[in-house]
Every structure is written in structure tokens, then in C-alpha cells.
Structure 1
Amino acid sequence: MSSSVIAKPAMRGLLAKRLRFHLAIAVTLSLAAATSYRFLVGESRKKAYADFYKKYDAMKEFEAMREAGIFESVKPKKAK
């Protein structure tokens, strides 16, 4: 029978080593998520807003709301 000695586990610095490993993974995943959100969601929203405001007529919208009676302080135009 051979009696071999089991090596002691390396306990000194184990927490710091594991934290560095998991912190690197967390930073990488968060940067990937932020970048993908920006390009998949942010850019499409920015384009949609730009397209909307290219065709938006504020005065036409105001007149439509005034005719609908939404505003209390503005009276509808009288038909001539």
C-alpha cells in the first residue's frame, strides 16, 4: 500500500482570483449588452423619431386638436 500525501488546496488569494475572473466576465457581458441595445434599439428609435418629425406639422396638429375641443382656453374657429 502506498501512502501518498494529498496536496493542500491553494486557499490564499482564492477569493481575489475568483473575483477578478467573474468581474472580467461581468464587465464584458455588460458592455456587450449595452452595445447591442444601442444598435438594435437606440438607432432604430432615433431613425423613427427623425422620420416622424420630417413630416410633422405642428400647426396642423394644433388646429386638429382645437377643432376637437381639447383645449379649454382656445375656442374653435368659427365656420365662415
Structure 2
Amino acid sequence: MSQGLLTKPQMRGLLAKRLRFHVIGAFIFSLSVVALYKFGVAEPRKRAYANYYKNYDVVKEFEAMRDAGVFQGVRPKDE
């Protein structure tokens, strides 16, 4: 009959202890997701737009669209 007694479970402050753990974990997780998005999506996208507009010629693009008949109020160049 002299078996080891079971320890009593912690009842007081259990919710606060678990919430503290999960809030810190959620904060670290959200910061890591933000960092991954910034360096994995946003920065390459900004670099791609910068490279595109570095060599972009507005007049040439307008003339190509005008010759293709995209605009309704602009006549083609050869008319």
C-alpha cells in the first residue's frame, strides 16, 4: 500500500502560463513570416520593377500600341 503518491496538477495560473507561452510563440512566428515575405516576395518584386522601368521607353511603347490600334481616339501613324 505504500505506492508513490501522484503529484497534484497545477490548477492555479495554468491559463496565464499557457497563454504567455503561446503569445510569445505567435509573435515569433509572425515576425518570421513577415521576414520571409519581405525578402522572398517584396524585395525581388521591387528589383524586377526597377529593372523593367530602367529600360522602359514610353514613346516607343505608345507608338507600338497606336500602330496596333489599341487606342480609339488616336489615328495610326500612316494615315
Q: Same fold (TM over 0.5)?
A: yes
What is the letter of the counterpart of residue 52 of structure 2? Answer: F
**Gap runs ≥5 in structure 2:** none
TM-score, normalised to structure 2's length? 0.88
Q: Percent identity?
A: 57
**TM-score of the two chains, using structure 1 as the length reference:** 0.87
Distance in 1, matches of 2:38 and 2:77, equals 45
Displacement of 1:6 in angstroms is 2.8
- CA shift, 1:32, in A, is 0.8
| Aligned pairs, number | 79
Point out the more displaced range, 46-55 or 7-16: 7-16
Displaced runs of 4 or more, over 3 A: none
1:3-42 → structure 2 map (5 Å cutoff): 4-42=4-42
Q: Which amino acid aligns with 2:39?
A: F
Q: Which amino acid aligns with 2:42?
A: G
Task: Provide Cα deviations, 1:6-45, integer angstroms capped at 9, x if missing partner.
Answer: 3321111111110110111111011011112111221111
Residue aligning to 1:49: 49
Equivalents in 2 of 1:57, 1:67: separation in Å?
16
CA-based RMSD? 1.4
